[in-house]
Amino acid sequence: MSIRDKVAIIGVGATKFGENFTQDYSDMIVEAAYEAFEDAKVSPSQIQAAWLGTCFPDSGGYQGNAGASLADALSLYKAPISRVANYCATGTDAFRNACFAVASGVYDIVLVVGAEKMRDVTPRESLVGQLAETGHPVHGKGVTAPGMFALIATRYFDFFGIGRETLAKVAMKNHRHGSLNPKAHFQKEITLEQYLKAPMVADPLGLYDCCPQTDGAAAAVICRADLASTFSQEPLFVKGLGLANPVGDKLAFNPESDFISFQATKEAAQQAYDQAGIKDPFKEIDVAEVHDCFTITELVTYEDLGFCRKGEGPQFIDKGVSSLDGELPVNTSGGLKSCGHPIGASGLRMIGEITDQLRGRAGRRQVKGAKRGLVHNLGGLGAVTSVIVLASS
């Protein structure tokens, strides 16, 4: 049986993403959750259960390890709270588990919050520092995120004969979109010259190919689909909910990997499309938020999601198809590139952006007549991917 049409989103909220030095972890949760409560027109006392998505509690003064961190922040003591973590797909997987609980009929209305505090720590204490020092048997020491995704870019460049100018177009598009988003970490356009002159991080990925480390929280209130109209004039319905981990942590060390695609995205998308009844995603999806942790990830993701064929990603960006005024706008929020990537929060921020788009509330970023949207959230080097399809009816 599928999740289709069993669950509705009735409210979303988010803090501004950025260096939120004046807000602690709990402050951010309060801001995001109360915005979602107001949007859903529910009071906290109506929430029957909740899910918290935080990936690295250590980065946030040890908060976010358990549901208690959400309970304390919101005085949400009557709702049982779970914490879910799944690398950078933490936010969407928290949402997925909440959807199952609602679809099971056990709860009518629940809250999902993603939050991550990433700027209040020294580099050595940070995620990057941890990863760099870890003795993880697959990743090994020093294999950081830019280093891993640079392998994909190098291989993609070689295979399809493109160069950094193509990645620059992804970066410039997302910075352009981000300049229209008052909650983005970076709200500024960039030029090709700036892109090319910026320091290299992990060749061929430069500074503007990488999303920043950012503080933020985002939230959604969801309920049983058959009750949605009692809460909201404009509920959104969950049509498909895919999660896949077909290569685990081993992509970079798997001799079968082609290094030009993420199998996890293909499989999660297929699950979500099957549930939603989508045959041609390019024609049937109106707007998408995809996981541009690095510019190369967005390029590959166009192809893996079936928005275009393998190797056509460069044309997709060249022709402006994924721009705000294109045929299938991608990352209208500015993406991770402009918004930043507070890990647990990103998936829920994306869900919020698509919700705003499908309700016609995206302001200067509005995609006209958007009725069906997609969220794509990727963790590890394609270790786990979540694809969610939402629609207004």
Contact footprint for a second copy (CB under 8 A): 1-3, 6, 24, 26, 55, 58, 61-63, 65-69, 71-72, 77-87, 89, 93, 96-97, 99-101, 103-106, 130-131, 134-139, 242-250, 268, 271, 379-380, 383-384
Range 70-77, long-range pairs (CB < 8 A, 24+ positions): 70/29, 70/113, 72/26, 73/25, 73/26, 73/29, 73/30, 73/33, 74/29, 74/30, 74/33, 74/44, 75/44, 76/44, 76/47, 76/50, 76/111
Give the residue carrying structure tokens 């499309």.
Answer: 273
| The one-letter amino acid at 114 | G
Q: How far is the CB of 316 from a second copy (least distance, A)?
A: 27
What's the rounded Cα separation, in Å, for the pair 76 and 81?
9
Our CB check for a second copy shows the closer of 90 and 357 to be 90
| Cβ proximity of 308 and 280 under 8 Å | no
Between the two ends of the chain, the Cα-to-Cα distance in Å is: 20
Place of tokens 């004046």: 22
88: annotated active-site residue: yes
Q: Report the residue number, 242 or 335, with the smaller CB distance to a second copy.
A: 242
Residue 246's CB: how many other CB atoms inside 10 A?
A: 16
Show the tokens assigned to 212. Answer: 């920043």
In the complex, what is the shortest distance from the CB of residue 103 to a second copy, in angstroms, rounded to a whole number? 4
CB of 78 to a second copy, least distance (A): 7
- Candidates 175, 177, 341, 376; catalytic one: 341
Helices 145-160 and 295-304, axial angle in degrees (round to 10):
60
Q: Which of 55, 88, 211, 223 is catalytic?
A: 88
Q: Which CB sits closer to a second copy, 89 or 296?
A: 89
Closest approach of Cβ 216 to a second copy, in Å?
Answer: 19
Q: Indicate if 341 belongs to the active site.
A: yes
What is the sign of the dihedral through the CA atoms of 142, 148, 149 and 153?
positive
Q: How far is the CB of 80 from a second copy (least distance, A)?
A: 4
Query: From the CB of 342, what's the least distance to a second copy, in Å?
Result: 16
User: Which one, 22 or 104, has the nearer CB to a second copy?
Assistant: 104
Q: Which is nearer to a second copy, 36 or 85 (CB)?
A: 85
Nearer to a second copy, 101 or 296 (CB): 101
Residues with catalytic roles: 88, 341
